[in-house]
Amino acid sequence: MPDFPTLAALRAAALAPSAGDDAAAGAVIARQAVLTKPPGSLGRLESLVAWLARWQRRPVPRLQRVQVLVFAGNHGVAAQGVSPYPAAVTAQMVHNFAAGGAAINALAAQAGGALRVVPLRLDRPTADFTAAPAMTEAEFLDAAQQGAAAVPAECDLLCLGEMGIANTTAAAALAAALFGGTGWAGRGTGLDAAGVAHKEEVVRAALARHAAALDDPLEVARRLGGHELAAILGATLAARRRGIPVLLDGFAVTAAAAPLALLAPDGLDHAAAAHLSAESGHRRLLAALEMTPLLDLGLRLGEGSGAALAVPLLRAALACHTGMASFAEAGVAGRAA
Ligand SMILES: Cc1cc2ncn([C@H]3O[C@H](COP(=O)(O)O)[C@@H](O)[C@H]3O)c2cc1C
Ligand SMILES: O=C(O)c1cccnc1
């Protein structure tokens, strides 16, 4: 049985209340209070473990099965000259992933994660969304469903990444449609100032073309997104239903998942921003989503690279939580007053 046999089923899943486990998070917080450190002194490491417990629905979270999923898709809007690279690079990079030669191969291995790359209709790009909706309803639903189906049932943490030439233009259009304003276009893979201005104009034209239909976040995702971006939305939603916390990568992945936060206020509570991309719209997008990135390393790659890089940080947080002694166990005096 597919997770989302119809668009109505996808929407109902996105609107369903969250399934986080308060008791599991509470158990983590209670244990942290007795470990040999001043309360709160491990900062964000402490709240991260509680977050893992809440969404794994397990009082002692684990990070044994880490899955990195990279979705790949092609974009009709590439024909507008919005990327310095040819669209053929998407499929070429999928071969490179399979051969083990990309950054994400190295980073997923370092993270102790399994890497799976899911190409979506690479021979059939989306429609150029300055002229028509990027996807039909059936195409959008199929991509979202493929994303959901790629999420393993048994998984402790999901890292999401993407590959799709011109997808930072789609991401900018999504962000502009979902959160309003202009100036969402950035350099992507390396546009110069004139290229960014042209990209911004393409985004403006797309929003004007679809202006009458941008009230519904799923319709925004269908009209202005892409196959791999719809798959990321489907995977993010499926992960919440299966009790799997998610690390979002950069600008493209965050924009792909963002409709879920607009459909339900807690729609991305099981997802954390792994890093702040150097793509200029990302800081603003994360602020709109009230997310604080874990890392800020100046990455502007995609592929799930930032998400994979944050996994060792989560492992460190969990190692402290499970490995530290309590004040009583260690014979360390507690606070005097
Ligand atoms: C060799 C190469 C490897 C990549 N890996 C990720 N991206 C990244 O760049 C693309 C988005 O940038 P834009 O919107 O400017 O095309 C996406 O495919 C993204 O994952 C790559 C891009 C290239 C060229
Ligand atoms: O932040 C991203 O997702 C990103 C940035 C540049 C190129 N591709 C992706």
> 257-283 pLDDT, tens per residue?
999 999 999 999 999 999 999 999 999
- Residue 159's DSSP bridge partners are 68, 247
Q: Residue 169 CA: which ligand is closest? A: 1
C-alpha of residue 93 to centroid of ligand 1, in Å: 9
Distance CA 287, CA 254 (A): 11
Among candidate residues 293, 288, 251, the one with its CA nearest the CA of residue 271: 293
Band (40; pLDDT cuts 50, 70, 90): very high
The answer to whether residue 26 is domain-embedded is no
Residue 326 lies in a domain: no
| Domain-located, residue 46 | no
User: Over 90: is that where the pLDDT of 2 sits?
Assistant: no
Residue 43 lies in a domain: no
Ligand closest to Cα of 250 equals: 2
The sign of the torsion formed by the CA atoms of 301, 307, 309, 313 equals positive
Q: Is residue 283 part of a domain?
A: yes
pLDDT of 301 reads 98
Give residue 41's pLDDT: 98
What local confidence, expressed as pLDDT, does residue 18 receive? 77
The CA 301 to ligand 1 mean position distance, Å, reads 6
Task: Look at residue 83 and give its three-state secondary structure.
Answer: coil
CA distances from 310 to 14, 122, 249 (A): 26, 29, 9
> What would the pLDDT profile of 92-115 be if each residue is shown by its tens digit?
999 999 999 999 999 999 999 999
- Mutate-to-test residue for ligand 2 from 75, 300, 305, highest number of ligand atoms within 8 A of CB: 300
pLDDT (mean) for 213-238: 98
Residues with CB under 6 A from ligand 2: 168, 188-189, 249-253, 277, 279, 282, 300, 302
pLDDT at 280: 96
150 to 122, 133, 221, 237: CA distances (angstroms): 17, 25, 19, 12
pLDDT of 313 strictly over 80: yes
| Ligand 1, pocket-test mutation among 70, 75, 83, 85, most atoms within 8 A of CB | 85
Residue 124 has pLDDT above 90, yes or no: yes
Q: What pLDDT sits at residue 116?
A: 98
pLDDT over threshold 90, residue 286: yes
Half-sphere exposure of 102 toward its Cβ, with a 13 Å CA cutoff?
27
pLDDT for position 49? 98
Q: Residue 111 maps to which CATH number?
A: 3.40.50.10210
In terms of Cβ atoms closer than 10 Å to its own Cβ (0-12, 13-18, 19+), residue 313 is: middle
pLDDT of residue 1: 72
* Domain carrying residue 88: 64-315
Q: Is the pLDDT of residue 334 over 80?
A: yes
- Is 290 domain-assigned? yes
Structure tokens at 292: 């604080």
What average pLDDT does this structure show over 294-299? 98
Distance (Å, rounded) from C-alpha 40 to C-alpha 45? 9
Q: How far apart (Å, rounded) are the C-alpha atoms in residues 137 and 63?
A: 36
Contact in structure between 120 and 72 (CB atoms under 8 Å):
yes
Taking 80 as the threshold, does the pLDDT of residue 221 lie above it?
Answer: yes
Task: Quote the pLDDT of residue 260.
Answer: 98
Q: Which ligand is nearest to the CA of 185?
A: 1
What distance in angstroms lies between residue 257's CA and the mean position of ligand 1's atoms? 18
Confidence (pLDDT) at 17: 84
Report the range of poorest mean pLDDT among 6-20, 237-251, 312-326.
6-20
Q: What is the pLDDT of residue 192?
A: 98
Instruction: Supply the residue whose CA is at minimum distance from atom 24 of ligand 1.
Output: 85
**Mean pLDDT (whole number) for 114-130:** 98
CB neighbours of 129 closer than 8 A, spacing ≥ 6? 76, 77, 170, 173, 206, 209, 210, 223, 224
CA distance 274 to 280: 16
The residue length of the chain stands at 337
What pLDDT sits at residue 62? 98
Q: Whose CA is nearest to atom 21 of ligand 1?
A: 301
Stretch 226-238: mean pLDDT: 98
DSSP assignment string, 264-293: STTTTTTEEE-B--SSTHHHHHHHHTT---
Residue 229 clears pLDDT 90, i.e. is over it? yes
Ligand 1 centre to CA of 37 (Å) is 43
* Site residues for ligand 1, CB cut-off 6 Å: 83, 85, 89, 93, 162-169, 188-189, 301-303
Q: Provide the pLDDT for residue 3.
A: 87
Going by their DSSP bridges, the two strands 271-273 and 157-163 should be labelled as unpaired
In-domain check, residue 227: yes
How many structural domains are present in the chain?
1
| Digit-coded pLDDT (tens) for 163-198 | 999 999 999 999 999 999 999 999 999 999 999 999
Ligand 2 atom closest to the Cα of residue 302 is 9
162 classed as catalytic: no
Best substitution site from 279, 283, 285, 295 to test ligand 2's pocket, by max atoms within 8 Å of Cβ? 279
pLDDT at 228 over 80: yes
Contact 166, 251 (CB under 8 A): no
Q: Round to whole Å and give the CA distance between 219 and 224.
A: 8
Instruction: Pick the residue whose CA is nearest to atom 5 on ligand 2.
Output: 300
At a CB cut-off of 8 Å and minimum separation 6, what does 48 contact? 272, 294, 313, 314, 317
Q: Which two three-digit tokens encode residue 165?
A: 């030439």
Kindly give the distance from the C-alpha atom of residue 228 to the centroid of ligand 2, in angstroms, as a whole number: 13
Q: What's the confidence (pLDDT) of residue 53?
A: 98
Residue 123 forms part of a structural domain: yes
Q: If you average pLDDT over every residue of the chain, what do you get?
A: 97
Q: Among 137, 201, 303, 329, which one carries the catalytic annotation?
A: 303
Atom of ligand 1 nearest to the CA of 171: 14
How far is 19 from 184, CA to CA, in rounded Å? 33
